[in-house]
Amino acid sequence: KVAVAAPSNAQLPPERPAPAAERAMDFSQLFSEKAVTLNLSSTTKADAIREMAGLLEQDGVLSDKAAFISAVEAREQQFPTGLGDGIAIPHAKTAAVVRPRVAVGISKAGIDFGSPDNTAAHLIFMIAASEGENDMHVKTLAEISKRLLDGDFKQRLLSSSDKGELLNNLVS
């Protein structure tokens, strides 16, 4: 048998770009100073969820704050989002999210998010993902978790003197 090569002038069909929801989002675009607080006033998980959802609402990324809070609380009932080592990443994927955003909160006192090591969370990332974003929230969780493995990175976030410094430390 003889292999027949395609003519050299044959063209492959052009690659189609991925739909907008599947394109990789720039990590830095997920953050905004409006959705950051260096001093969470909440002392309970439920209050922290409401307080951080309020930041997202003020940033204009929620169409329905109550529905978003319900989705985050439902996710927390499935499995607590306290990761341990003073970190929690509550999250929800819901139609109540207009565009993806990550709210960031620092709690000086710490908040119990049910972490496996029983430590209170001082650094809280609340991921808001919209229904059409496929696995954006999973990729964001992975990226944040990967960065937090660096203890110096975590300390830089916690010691940030203002929102701009925190965001610069977060996305650099």
Can you tell me the distance from the alpha carbon of 161 to that of 8, in angstroms, rounded to the nearest whole number? 61
* Dihedral sign, Cα of residue 84, residue 85, residue 90, residue 91: negative
Give the amino acid at 101.
Answer: R
What φ, ψ does residue 159 adopt, rounded to 5°? -100, 10
Q: Is 137 a catalytic residue?
A: no
Alpha helices in 59-150 (DSSP H): 65-78, 136-148
What φ, ψ does residue 23 adopt, rounded to 5°? -70, 145
Choice among 48, 49, 90, 91 that is catalytic: 91
Active-site amino acid positions: 91
